[in-house]
Amino acid sequence: MTEQEDGFDPRRARRRLLLLSVTAFAAVALVMLALIQVYGYEAVRDGWDDMAPAVIAIKWGGMAVLIWQWDDIIAWVAKRQRMSNGYRDYLLGIRWRVAIALVVLEVLFGQNLLAHLLN
């Protein structure tokens, strides 16, 4: 095996991350559809409205922990995936770009700012 075959392949990692994301989205969508079929739309919507403050706190807390522990997380992933030092350093360098992107996405879509701006 060459070093490229044995080492980290960023394209393969992106494909795996995309597959994981699509699978998680599909699983959540199927669970929601099943809940709507069993309990009805209004009951599920009311339940979601009751849980919304806790979900928002969990999302913001998760983002804070991710950014706070970024160096440790990247070090762990780099070791586990046998990343090159250059790619690891690149990931360490984009910490604040990722943080800003997460906050912008959460404000626009999670807090429905985009819908309010469009109305």
Spatial distance between the Cα atoms of 22 and 27, rounded to a whole number of angstroms = 9
As given in the structure block, the two tokens for residue 11 are 């394209």
How many CB atoms are closer than 10 A to CB 7?
13
Q: Give the separation between CA 66 and CA 13, rounded to whole angstroms.
A: 19
**Start-to-end Cα distance in the chain:** 57
Instruction: Name the pTM for this structure.
Output: 0.74
What would the mean pLDDT of 100-117 be, rounded to a whole number? 84
- Domain residues of the chain, as ranges? 3-118
Cβ-based neighbours of 76, under 8 Å, separated by 6 or more? none
Q: What is the mean pLDDT of residues 6-16?
A: 83
The pLDDT value given to residue 112: 78
**What tens digit of pLDDT does each residue of 43-84 get?**
999 999 999 999 999 999 999 999 999 999 999 999 988 888
- The SS3 of residue 63 is helix
Q: Residue 1 has what pLDDT? A: 42
CB-CB neighbours of 88 under 10 Å: 17
